[in-house]
Amino acid sequence: MPLGERAGDKSESRYCGVETEFNDDMPQLLAYNISSGGFDFVVATLMDPSYRPSLVEKDCGGSGVLPFAGSDLVLSPSQWSSHVVGKISSWIDLDSEDEILRMDSETTLKQEIAWASHLSLQACLLPAPKGTSCANYARCVNQILLGLNSMKLWLRIPLWKTDDDSMDVDSNRLVDSWELWNSFRLLCEHHSQLSVALDVLSSIPSPNSLGRWFGEPVRAVIIHTDCFLTNARGYPCLSKRHQKLVTGAFSHSIQIVLSGKPVHSLPKGSSDLAANHDDSTLDGVQRHPLRSYLDYIGYLYQKMDPLPEQERFELGYRDFLQSPLQPLMDNLEAQTYETFEKDAVKYIQYQRAISKALQDRVPEDKASRMTTVLMVVGAGRGPLVRASLQAAEETGRKLRIYAVEKNPNAVVTLHSLVKLEGWENIVTIISSDMRSWDAPEKADILVSELLGSFGDNELSPECLDGAQRFLKDDGISIPSSYIPMVEETCCVEYGWTCFLDTPRVKSHKDVVHFETAYVVKLHNVARLAPTQSVFTFTHPNQSITKSNQRYKKLRFEIPCDTGSAMVHGFAGYFDATLYKDVHLGIEPSTATPNMFSWFAIFFPLRTPVIVHPGSSLEVNFWRCCGPSRSQSYAYVL
């Protein structure tokens, strides 16, 4: 049964599995661990561990099929699919110096995966590489992946602690787990059906080092019973660092698998901590030995805060690449307008900024007789017009508004809105591109919402510079400035294994798909270094040249305790000042709370770059302008 109910969470992380020993009675194995134990699935060995192809009599009656497994009829196809993850025999070693062992390992690996595929299993757990060299193992797995159906392969990777405070461990373990995984997946060409199952030990790496894994395709975290401590009541519990890892897994749709034998003796006659499952244990019936560990994992899951309403809304957009809107080139549809108009936070911020501007523009003693000319450029279906009128009512100022909109379909809606609200004497609708409109008078305040995810990527600088000619010399622009910002990210889901509405980026052989910026709700990413600002745009633009071409060189430093990582691209944000202290932005550390109009922008790298702890990465950003368009480029050194 699932770990519990958490509002808004429908991910696979609700289901907890258990790693089991070999048992040729699969129905009994499921009944013991699922029906009685409360687990949702088992990670079960499919073949008798004593089986070796080289020891089997070669004469198979002419059929050529070795008797390596039992019948598939003992469970229904749906039971195999939903309750069993296949576990490939742990003895295999495809990089062994022993030729017989190496050949047996390859034969067995292919047989077991073929059998698992025949059973319609959703995933198979591959054993960890036996050493730092895994070329032949990866070669064989890559060959299998090329002919595999939809089944996933989870490569078991021990999460060794290799940072500075762990130098007392066995020297054989002073190998970065991520390096082991990275070398394997490179040899498998970043195949989308190859994922990671992290094998968690009692000591785990630093938070920075762990953070890298949330940018990798981790599907399971295997927690051994010897990772657990004992709390004051005698029940199993986890350290704070382990707890953070588990809750991070829950947040990233990663399943927990418990492994090992019980190492805690529970107090007699007491009930388990946080027993949130229906307990079918009756007097005289033996309780599953790992049930108290499962209950603790369920306790950690249930004590997490429910997903906020905004995150529930954004669930379907997580890690999904979209082309940025081009409102200057394309006329937006009604559904797009409606989505953005629901962002109340954004328009509250705009209303606050307009209120402050009106108060600064018109003294209190002139409020009743002085009219402020306000122009909304890019009025859409009128949300900024409404926010401006509400600001005027709030401050007791008089307004004359020009609503300039180039989309003829939105202009129809604006006319209906003005008539419906009785704004005919206040609002004048202009059906025109702001850059070509000849205004009858100059504005005191110019308001726009042309900001893109990177601030300037929807041509806000060009549009507002073009509209500036009808702003008074001492006029106010809202926004008054904005700064595009970037951070380097490890996010294998995007550049190399993420699916778009078209095939994945990597499957395109042309350059353009890797030199396109995408809008994405970042989730499965590892943020490797703090965000840095790129350019700055200010309005009104008082520069003599008014050129919006920009160039900036940035250097990102990788913390020493992070470990090696692969940079797949750069996440972009913006931070804007609407007016004075009224702020609007999406950079994670300073983001406007509960605002959803913008997701981050992602600049993928055509060739991912491996960075090492303590090293630096230099990136050059250009914003290039032409007569008909502008574009940002990045070049990594």
CATH fold for domain 12-53+69-307: TIM Barrel (3.20.20)
Residue 272 pLDDT > 60:
no
Signed CA dihedral, 502, 508, 510, 516: sign only: positive
> Does the structure show a pLDDT above 50 at 130?
yes
Share of the chain above pLDDT 90, in %: 59
261 is in an annotated binding site: no
Name the nearest CA neighbour of 559 among 186, 244, 212: 212
Are the CB atoms for 277 and 37 separated by under 8 Å? Answer: no
Tell me which CATH code domain 334-478 carries: 3.40.50.150
Domain boundaries, the chain: 12-53+69-307, 334-478, 481-636
pLDDT tens column, 543-598:
777 788 999 999 999 998 888 999 988 999 999 999 999 999 999 999 999 999 99
What distance in Å separates the CA atoms of residue 500 and residue 513, rounded to the nearest whole number?
Answer: 11
Pairing of strands 229-230, 398-405: unpaired
- Please check if 405 is assigned to a binding site: yes
Over residues 408-433, mean pLDDT: 95
pLDDT bracket for residue 371 (50, 70, 90): very high
pLDDT at 275: 42
Which pLDDT tens digit goes with each residue over 317-345?
A: 888 888 887 777 778 899 889 989 999 99
For residue 444, give every residue at least 6 positions away whose Cβ sits within 8 Å of its Cβ, in sequence order, or none.
Answer: 361, 372, 373, 374, 472, 475, 476
β-strands 565-579, 582-585: how paired?
antiparallel
Q: Taking the CA of residue 613 as centre, how many other CA atoms within 13 Å lie in the half-sphere pointing to its CB?
A: 15
Residue 363: Cβ within 10 Å count: 9
Contact between 220 and 197 under an 8 Å Cβ cutoff? The reply is yes
458 is catalytic: yes
Q: Which helix (H) or strand (E) holds 583?
A: strand 582-585
Q: Tokens 């959703």 — which residue?
A: 122
Average of per-residue pLDDT across 146-168 = 79
Q: Count how many residues are written for the chain.
A: 637
Q: What is the mean pLDDT of residues 25-49?
A: 92
Q: Is 160 left (phi over 0), alpha (psi -120 to 50) or beta?
A: beta
Q: Which CATH superfamily is domain 481-636 in?
A: Hnrnp arginine n-methyltransferase1 (2.70.160.11)
- pLDDT of res. 119: 93
**Average pLDDT for 437-448:** 95
What is the spatial distance between Cα 335 and Cα 377, in angstroms, rounded to a whole number? Answer: 21
Q: In 84-187, which ranges are continuous DSSP H helix? A: 99-118, 135-146, 177-187
Check whether 116 has a pLDDT greater than 80. Answer: yes
Name the active-site residue from 458, 462, 487, 493: 458
State yes or no: pLDDT of 127 exceeds 50: yes
Return the pLDDT at 497.
41
Query: pLDDT digit string (tens) for 218-263?
Result: 999 999 999 999 998 888 999 999 999 999 999 999 999 999 998 8
The lowest-confidence range among 78-87, 588-597, 602-611 is 602-611
Between the alpha carbon of residue 635 and those of residues 156, 454, 551, 569, the distances in Å are 35, 17, 11, 11
Q: Is 433 marked as a binding-site residue? A: yes
Q: Each residue of 40-71: pLDDT tens digit?
A: 999 999 988 888 888 775 545 444 445 556 68
Q: Packing angle between helix 344-361 and helix 383-395, nearest 10 degrees?
A: 50
Q: What is the pLDDT of residues 487-528, one digit of tens each?
A: 988 765 544 443 333 334 555 555 566 677 889 999 888 889
Q: What is the DSSP letter of 580?
A: T
Which is catalytic among the residues 449, 462, 487, 587?
449
SS3 510: coil
pLDDT of residue 430: 96
Phi-psi region of 64 (alpha: psi -120 to 50; beta: other; left: phi over 0): left
Q: How many CA atoms lie within 13 A of 501 on its CB side?
A: 6
Label each residue of 47-102 as H, E or C. CCCCCCHHHCCCCCCCCCCCCCCCCHHHCCHHHHHHHEEEECCCCCCCCCCCHHHH
SS3 378: coil
Matching fold, domains 12-53+69-307 and 481-636: no
What are the start-end ranges of the E strands in 151-294? 152-159, 194-200, 218-224, 229-230, 236-237, 255-259
Residue pLDDT, tens place only, 182-199: 999 999 988 999 999 999
- Region 607-623 average pLDDT: 90
**pLDDT the model gives residue 514:** 67
- Residue 580 marked in a binding site: no
Q: What is the 3 state secondary structure string of 389-436?
A: HHHHHHHCCEEEEEEEECCHHHHHHHHHHHHHHCCCCCEEEEECCCCC
For the chain, what is the mean pLDDT? 86
Region 395-410: mean pLDDT is: 96
- pLDDT tens per residue, range 457-466: 888 998 898 8
Cα gap 526→347, rounded to integer Å: 31
Q: What share of the chain in percent tops pLDDT 70?
A: 86
* Cα–Cα distance measured from residue 137 to residue 132, given in angstroms and rounded to the nearest whole number: 11
Contacts of 548 (CB under 8 A, 6+ apart): 456, 461, 462, 465, 537, 623, 625, 630
Active site residue 21: no
Residue pair 548/150 in contact (Cβ under 8 Å)? The answer is no
> Is residue 410 over pLDDT 60?
yes
Candidate from 118-122, 159-163, 626-630 with smallest mean pLDDT = 626-630
Report, in angstroms and rounded to the nearest whole number, the Rg of the chain calculated over CA atoms: 30
